[in-house]
């Protein structure tokens, strides 16, 4: 099946898949202990597939599975163009949410890849999945030679760093597997050191509930510690990626056009969006899956973090409205923070006005 493998690799390149690898459909039983421990301790995000047996055994997902084709699609971490200056301060969506939702991008590429493979061989059977599927994408990608799993828990390759979206096709094809890469983190622990919430354990595992990316997606109220540490981010967290040496100098071309006004939205207009306006403007990006309310709650926190006193009238309006208790509480917290800052600065301002400080 060597010719088939090379044909699949050529097709993948042709349709814009950044990296492709092949591994057996053998089980991933070594993960069971870690997955069970995280589930029992409550340190997983809760977004994962609940059936651990299906997470570690591809044959429970496709009975005649023989080979898993792992794919990676690289994405940019720097905007092609920054948004224009405005009178409002801006928040930020993480790069994984720039452009069209990566689930749609990956699903489209895997569908096209499967369609093209079916033209090459008879009786092709497969099951495709992205990170909402059962298998642990990082484990599949590592075994298929896409990259290694770093201490951040992300798959990292020399070509694209950790800025890759992952997906896989479980297939009934009999294809020679690839080998895992021969490089890794070594002694580097920059991601562990710089993680602002100490979410990383340093052994590729993490307490997902302490990750800022999880906190920006969590519904309801969140602890003050996380509100402050999100700084200007509305969705996601990239600190472990920013500090990773493998990501230095890497910035891939976007798969779809990126609107800088959606990547760095003006906060006050964003908070005023109706459901209809939000869906029309932001509905195609990955971060929109959590809905308007969670992201607007985050935007309220960011206004306080950026010390945006021009937002006080808007925050007072939200704080006086009991219709959304989460937003009301967030606005009151932001107002308290902004007014505390104002009180601390007032004596200094008066001294400057009186000419006592120059």
Q: Which residues are catalytic?
A: 131
Q: How far apart are CA 144 and CA 180, in angstroms?
A: 6
Q: How far apart are CA 35 and CA 123, in angstroms?
A: 34
In this structure, are residues 141 and 180 in contact, taking their beta carbons and an 8 Å threshold?
A: no
User: Among all chains, which residue has been given the structure tokens 């590429």?
Assistant: 109
Q: Beta-carbon neighbour count of residue 180 at 10 Å?
A: 17
User: CA angle, corner 226, sides to 244 and 334, nearest 5?
Assistant: 130
279, with CB counted inside 10 A (0-12, 13-18, 19+), is middle
Separation of alpha carbons 167 and 73, rounded Å: 9
Residues whose CB is less than 8 angstroms from the CB of residue 288 and which lie 6 or more positions away in sequence, other chains included: 101, 278, 279, 282, 295
């Amino acid at each position: 099946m060597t010719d088939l493998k090379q044909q699949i690799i050529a097709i993948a390149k042709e349709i814009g898949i950044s990296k492709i690898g092949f591994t057996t459909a053998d089980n991933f039983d070594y993960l069971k202990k870690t997955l069970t421990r995280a589930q029992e301790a409550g340190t997983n995000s809760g977004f994962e597939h609940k059936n651990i047996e299906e997470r570690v055994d591809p044959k429970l997902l496709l009975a005649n599975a023989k080979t898993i084709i792992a794919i990676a699609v690289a994405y940019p971490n720097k905007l092609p163009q920054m948004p224009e200056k405005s009178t409002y301060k801006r928040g930020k969506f993480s790069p994984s949410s720039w452009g069209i939702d990566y689930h749609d991008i990956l699903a489209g590429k895997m569908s096209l890849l499967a369609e093209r493979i079916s033209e090459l061989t008879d009786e092709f059977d497969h099951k495709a999945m992205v990170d909402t599927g059962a298998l642990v994408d990082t484990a599949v990608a590592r075994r298929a030679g896409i990259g290694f799993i770093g201490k951040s828990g992300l798959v990292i390759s020399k070509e694209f760093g950790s800025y890759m979206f992952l997906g896989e096709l479980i297939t009934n094809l009999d294809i020679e597997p690839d080998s895992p890469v021969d490089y890794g983190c070594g002694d580097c622990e920059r991601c562990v050191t710089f993680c602002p919430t100490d979410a990383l354990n340093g052994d590729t595992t993490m307490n997902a509930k302490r990750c800022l990316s999880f906190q920006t997606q969590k519904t309801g109220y969140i602890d003050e510690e996380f509100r402050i540490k999100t700084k200007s981010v509305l969705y996601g967290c990239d600190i472990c990626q920013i500090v990773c040496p493998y990501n230095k100098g890497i910035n891939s071309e976007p798969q779809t056009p990126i609107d800088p006004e959606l990547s760095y939205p003006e906060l006050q207009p964003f908070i005023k969006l109706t459901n209809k306006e939000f869906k029309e403007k932001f509905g195609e990006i990955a971060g929109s899956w959590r809905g308007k309310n969670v992201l607007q709650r985050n935007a309220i926190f960011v206004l306080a973090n950026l010390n945006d006193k021009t937002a006080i009238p808007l925050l007072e309006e939200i704080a006086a409205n009991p219709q959304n208790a989460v937003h009301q509480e967030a606005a009151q917290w932001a107002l308290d923070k902004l007014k505390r800052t104002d009180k601390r600065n007032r004596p200094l301002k008066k001294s400057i006005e009186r000419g006592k400080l120059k």
